[in-house]
Amino acid sequence: MVFSSLEFIFRFLPVFLIVYYFAPPYWRNAVLLIGSIVFYAFGEPVYVFLILGSVLMNYLLALGIGKSGKGIKKRFFLAVDIILNVGILAVFKYSAFIVENINLLGGTEFEVPQIPLPLGISFFTFQIMSYVIDVYRGTVPCDRSLIDLGTYILMFPQLIAGPIVTYTEVALDLKSRQRRISDLEEGLKPFIIGLSMKVLLANNLGTVWDSMGTAGYENISTVYAWIGAAAYTLQIYFDFAGYSMMAIGLGRMLGFSLPQNFDHPYAAVSVSDFWNRWHMTLTGWFREYLYIPMGGNRRGKIRTYANLLVVWFITGLWHGAAWNFILWGLYYFCFIAVERLFLGKLLRRLPGFIGWLYSILVAMIGWVLFAVNGMDDFMVYINRMFGGYAGDDFMEHIVSAAMLIAAGAFFASPFFERGYMRLRDGVMGLFLHLILFWASVTALVDAAYNPFLYFRF
């Protein structure tokens, strides 16, 4: 079944919000939990019991940690929790990849398991683990309400594709939040902006990138290859940042303040700066729950780079069970490492536009590696980008593609946000949001398929 969260939102959100807002305060988490289960069941009915079982398992193990005091029993419960969560993720996401590589390296012929990937498993697994680890550390209390904990984990605005929310970020809202009509207005604004980013920009930029595959990477000219890379670079930003904005808006409508996930990453002046701005909740998760516990940068240079290597290897693997994702993570490790060694200091001395050109070029090449199906396709595409291949294949699309890329570059920049923040609360802001909402809904009516790219991770 093809999952469209937009279909669910437009069909069920108005009814859900009416029930939610009229529910007594002590029933509101239960209403949100039931609505979130329905949301997940709409897209992934087969795995509803998997995610509910995961919630119950982590609830019980966290209770065990909370009651264990200090000592080996507490560490045992934490180890069991991490092993089970990582094990579930490995079975459903990586088992086929592991068997394929065993067969390749060992010359064996083990049957490759064909297990459908549960929606959002990477996101909700990391979110669950952050809660249990924080209970172990004593930074958050053990939540004894299964309904409240289930609401935190399954909250439908960010269940499928983030942002990854730690328990501390919503603990107060989870236990006590006000029922304010103003939250509907304040939530609708980022929701509409995110919707328009997805529908009006990401979907249309996606058609430009898709045309590369239709033509065949080996057949495209150098100019067209660069157009395609630029289009995908913007598509994945508006697709993922758009979903995050919609999630933040929906969360605000429900009385929650969800964390920001993007901060104009394409305005970065280094690769390190880029990753401080892109998917910030994932970057923060790896820093807080992996890099720092391994020792971070506190145990000498060699250990620091070893820790960074592990983090970026897992970052790539987290995004997908394929070698191009792993190499994509290691690709970024190389740049991060070189910047820590000397390049970062050099970039800070040079004019800002040089650092920007460097970081955007690294990002574009990285997104090509991320988007293609394998290393053979990547090498072909990079060859077309840098091989100086002539051709007029881009002429048919040059006007529409150039307009889309120019519009995308503007809306991804800080300049748009500065202007938007001046207008968002006035009459012009109301007019702007109404126009964007109308245009987005009109585009959705004509669209047969609106996949979110990060749903597959």
> Is 319 annotated in the active site?
yes
Question: On the CB side of 379, how many CA atoms lie within 13 Å of its CA?
Answer: 3
Query: Residue 115, SS3?
Result: coil
Burial of 309 (0-12, 13-18, 19+ CB in 10 A): middle
- Record the tokens describing residue 186, joined without a space: 């304040």
DSSP string covering 65-95, please? Answer: HHHS-SSHHHHHHHHHHHHHHHHHHIIIIIH
Integer Cα distance of 156 and 13 in angstroms: 11
List the catalytic residue out of 264, 319, 397, 433: 319
Integer Cα distance of 303 and 294 in angstroms: 9
Distances (CA, A) of 73 to 29, 61, 318, 361, 437: 32, 11, 30, 50, 54
* Sign of CA pseudo-dihedral 227, 228, 231, 237: negative
DSSP string covering 170-202, please? Answer: HHHHHH-----HHHHHHHHHHHHHHHHIIIIII
Q: Count the helices and strands in the chain (H runs, E runs).
A: 22, 0
> H or E element: which one contains 230?
helix 222-253
User: Which of the residues are catalytic?
Assistant: 319
